[in-house]
Structure 1
Amino acid sequence: MTALYYALGVLVFAVAIMLSIGLHEFGHLIPAKKFGGKVSQWFIGFGPTVWSKRIGETEYGVKAIPLGGYVKIIGMLPPGAEQLVEETTVDAEGRQVHRVRKSNTGLFTQLISDARSAEWELVGPDDADRLFYKMPWWKKVVVMGGGPMVNIAIAFFIFTGVFATYGNPTDRVLEPVVSSVAPCVVPFEESGRECTAEDPATPAYAAGLKPDDRIVAFNGTEVGDDWQLLQDRIRANADGEADLTILRDGVEQTVHTNTTVTLRPKSLEDETLVQVGFLGVTPEFHIQTGGPVYTLGEMGGMTVDTVQALVQLPVKVWGVAKAIAGVEERAIDSPVSIVGGGRFAGETVSHEEFLVSEKLVYLLMLIAGFNFFIGMFNFVPLLPLDGGHIAGALYEGARRGVARLLGRPDPGYVDVARLLPVAYVVGLAMLVMGVVLIVGDIVVPLHITS
């Protein structure tokens, strides 16, 4: 049964990601068609075609390798300005097509020329006014930004639904209410083991603190609902006396004890062990809930974290490569591929200790997180990503706007084809990183219990 649940989790995740990719591509297709552009293909996946159907002028289909998707918008690349040779030929279906070639001898310039030629093989005699590169710059931004914005919108709606009902699992509000009392002081490096006769009792246990006791004040300082303030006071108290004002069963009383000194991490961000005062209680917590405004705030923080992660991505992937080679352990915060995401989904659904509600929430958060990252990643201003085309369109709009202000001639369309060498390098880097992460998720996988 566990294997069946695992497979179910992987299947749900895979289907959700494929649907997200398809919707991403519709985010390009729909505005492109609305603006009069011609879209010849809409596909999920790459490689050999598994299934396709032509509706109107667009072929919709699925390919064998489900690692992405694409739409083919006619006229993405403008014809070059120098040494152009235009040819009109007839394709296998009897349609007239235009070819645009550029005579050159350089490697990169030849690649650009071949790309233009391949692009214009799809352009028919009636497509002159429907070419993508001729669209106003702002329409290009809408078309290219539509795809990643769909992913971000999917993430927003999933996050909003989870946060408004279950709450945000990553936003736990700690309260100065005793959830549990540790019976003994166990050295941090031995955390998790049972108490022995040699272990001293914790101050909280010795003082008789009980679950549901609310700590109102510590050594005369009221802490209100602020667990962090209480924790700071305890840590700073070292092995000094501690007078606790507690509320038990609606009755306020004072408990006298002494905190003890033990080694604990400096903070959640800094694991350096330092000597601090220790009481021995675990606080209660509740999960923060919120609606659309709360979700937007959380996604703002996610945006900052994602940008930082993207900057560090090559280094993190290199770390995964070293883990594959056995040079070092794989970092728990290393990136994962869709294979790793599927593993997380399978382990979540098959985990026997998780409640059904917790499994559903984790799956939804995983799907939303992948969508958010896909959307943000596609906004990186480098070809062949959507952000590279957006950057070119914005540059075109700025250049034309400046020319108008200065009374200069229209500088014309931005030729993104000249950046194709960069696109090839970036595309190769993306391919290598993707392969490394997939291999890493198979050879040295991360687990939800890591």
Structure 2
Amino acid sequence: MTVLLFIVGVLFVVLGIAASIALHEVGHLVPAKLFKVRVTQYMVGFGPTVWSRRRGETEYGLKAIPAGGYVSMVGMFPPAATEDGAVRPSSTGVFQQLTNDARQAAAEQLQPGDENRVFYRLPIWKRIIIMMGGPLMNLLIGTVLFAVLLMGFGTAQPTTTIASVSECVVPASQQAETGQTECGADDPAAPAYEAGLLPGDRVVTFDGRDVTSWDELSGWIRDAAGREVGISYVRNGETVDSTITPLLTERPVVAADGTAEVDDEGDTVMQEVGFIGVGSTQELVPQPAGAVLPAVGDSLARVAGVVLNLPQRVVEVGQAAFSDAPRDPEGPISVVGVGRIAGEISAMEEIPVASRAATLIGLVAGVNLALFVFNLIPLLPLDGGHVAGALWEGLRRTVARLFGRPDPGPFDMARLLPLTYAVAILLMGMGVLLIYADIVKPVDLFG
């Protein structure tokens, strides 16, 4: 059963990513057709074609390697011409030959009547819409999935029902120094253990006040150090009254996002607070619609941070893959890594089905937001590179018009093909490295 659940989780994410790629290309296809550009191919994947059908002037199909996709439009590159309109002679240079070959291939696609249907003749704003259509489709998918995740399933929130009770209290600083995880002879008994609390008990009052949330209860416990107070909890449908004396002990200062705060030297910030030694259960609580966009924004900010430091992050992945160093759980991973994580989550039968489903949806949503940010990088062959080229052309033409100079014409994107090939090789190398690392040194999210 565990193996079957693992496979189900992997398939869910694989199909979700494949659908996201297909819809990304639809984001390019639809505006291209609306603007009358002739689209010759809409393909999901790369390599040999395994299936295709022609509808009108466009061939729709699937390729053997499901690692991306493309929409082929006529007239991506303008013809190279001299000032009198004559085509420049071919150069024997390797880079120039690559450029000439690309122009020749683009010219061979043209048919009678395509004069006003080529991509490079479109107004700049239309070209930007076409190229931004793919990333914006991923942003839309990610936002919709976040809405399903937050409003439909909800986010995990601590409840007032106890999940665990510690037998003793070990100061956090002592745990950090010695790695102690079990109770020692000199460790004081945990107040909750002495008061008779058990996992499954639901705390209803503390110090004479009704308990409505775990955060509220935690604050009262922290403030009641050394003082005996009353506590009531429900066990098996019956209310039990008792007393408890929170113990003053060192605990980490927790930030708003739930992580421990650290100082300038990287050490965990500690504080002395009341502590009783219990942990809470978690349950999914649906969130309002207003929580969706802030959550998407936070996720985009985290992804952007990874992308901005991508070279360093990839080097760190390589160092971890070929050494004993652990992988950074916040670093980049490949589709293989995402699939493995999805399988592990799906196979965790101790976690409720709703929580597992929500996590899988969150993975696909995160991949879409990552695709949105990554495709905005202003380098060819990424969509951001085409947008940058269109903006540069607009700037050149605007400057020429302001200074009364002749129109410089369309920007020749074909001249950037050598750089495009170099970037493509780097991206493929990065992909191979991430896949290798995800096989030999996978990210450990579950300890």
TM-score by length of 2: 0.83
Using a 3 Å threshold, how does the CA distance of structure 1 residues 120 and 242 change in structure 2: closer, same or farther? farther
Deviation larger for 324-333 or 295-304: 324-333
Deviation larger for 128-137 or 50-59: 50-59
Deviation at 1:404, TM superposition (A): 4.5
Residue identity in the other structure for 2:56 = G
CA deviation vs aligned residue, 1:68-105 (integer Å, no higher than 9, x gap): 1111111111122449997xxxxxxxxxxxxx764224
Q: Equivalent residue for 1:27?
A: 27
Deviation at 1:183, TM superposition (A): 2.7
Aligned-partner Cα distance in 2 for 1:232–1:412: 70
SS in 1 for 2:249: strand
After superposition, residues 36-435 of structure 1 pair within 5 angstroms as: 36-82=36-82, 102-169=89-156, 172=157, 180-186=164-170, 188-189=175-176, 193=181, 195=183, 198-206=186-194, 211-213=201-203, 227=215, 234=222, 241-242=226-227, 257=245, 259-262=247-250, 264=252, 268-270=259-261, 272-273=267-268, 274=270, 276-277=272-273, 278-283=275-280, 287=284, 289-404=286-401, 408-435=405-432
SS in 1 for 2:189: coil
Deviation larger for 75-84 or 113-122: 75-84
Deviation at 1:291, TM superposition (A): 4.4
Q: Equivalent residue for 1:6?
A: 6
Deviation at 1:310, TM superposition (A): 0.4
CA deviation vs aligned residue, 1:35-83 (integer Å, no higher than 9, x gap): 0101111111111121222222111111111111111111111122449
Deviation larger for 268-277 or 296-305: 268-277
Aligned-partner Cα distance in 1 for 2:283–2:395: 49
SS in 1 for 2:407: coil
Using a 3 Å threshold, how does the CA distance of structure 1 residues 29 and 102 change in structure 2: closer, same or farther? farther
Aligned-partner Cα distance in 2 for 1:216–1:305: 38
Gaps of 5+ in 2: none
The CA RMSD over aligned residues, in Å, is: 3.6
Deviation at 1:328, TM superposition (A): 1.8
Residues 330 and 444 in structure 1, CA contact (< 8 A), matched pair in contact too: yes
Residues 180 and 281 in structure 1, CA contact (< 8 A), matched pair in contact too: yes
Residue identity in the other structure for 1:329 = P
Aligned-partner Cα distance in 2 for 1:48–1:261: 65
Deviation at 1:396, TM superposition (A): 2.7
CA deviation vs aligned residue, 1:351-402 (integer Å, no higher than 9, x gap): 2212222222121111111111112211112111001111222333344345
Using a 3 Å threshold, how does the CA distance of structure 1 residues 230 and 356 change in structure 2: closer, same or farther? closer
CA deviation vs aligned residue, 1:196-228 (integer Å, no higher than 9, x gap): 65532124444667843367679x9x9996838
Deviation at 1:409, TM superposition (A): 4.1
Q: Equivalent residue for 1:89?
A: none
CA deviation vs aligned residue, 1:147-188 (integer Å, no higher than 9, x gap): 11111111111111121121134xx4x578866543311453
Residues 252 and 261 in structure 2, CA contact (< 8 A), matched pair in contact too: no
Deviation at 1:282, TM superposition (A): 3.0
Identical counterparts, % of pairs: 41
SS in 1 for 2:428: helix
Q: Aligned pair count?
A: 429
Deviation at 1:417, TM superposition (A): 2.2
SS in 2 for 1:305: helix
Deviation larger for 222-231 or 378-387: 222-231
Residues 179 and 212 in structure 1, CA contact (< 8 A), matched pair in contact too: no
Residue identity in the other structure for 1:299 = V
Using a 3 Å threshold, how does the CA distance of structure 1 residues 241 and 68 change in structure 2: closer, same or farther? same
CA deviation vs aligned residue, 1:120-152 (integer Å, no higher than 9, x gap): 221223211111011001110111111111111
Aligned-partner Cα distance in 2 for 1:215–1:136: 67
Q: Equivalent residue for 1:97?
A: none
Residues 145 and 365 in structure 2, CA contact (< 8 A), matched pair in contact too: yes
Gaps of 5+ in 1: 87-99
Aligned-partner Cα distance in 1 for 2:356–2:246: 42
Residues 176 and 216 in structure 1, CA contact (< 8 A), matched pair in contact too: no
SS in 2 for 1:144: helix
Q: Equivalent residue for 1:95?
A: none
Aligned-partner Cα distance in 2 for 1:256–1:356: 36
Using a 3 Å threshold, how does the CA distance of structure 1 residues 224 and 245 change in structure 2: closer, same or farther? farther
Residue identity in the other structure for 1:338 = V
Residues 188 and 263 in structure 1, CA contact (< 8 A), matched pair in contact too: no
Deviation larger for 54-63 or 118-127: 118-127
SS in 2 for 1:80: coil
Using a 3 Å threshold, how does the CA distance of structure 1 residues 396 and 254 change in structure 2: closer, same or farther? farther
Using a 3 Å threshold, how does the CA distance of structure 1 residues 181 and 415 change in structure 2: closer, same or farther? same
Residues 116 and 417 in structure 1, CA contact (< 8 A), matched pair in contact too: yes
Residues 231 and 244 in structure 2, CA contact (< 8 A), matched pair in contact too: no
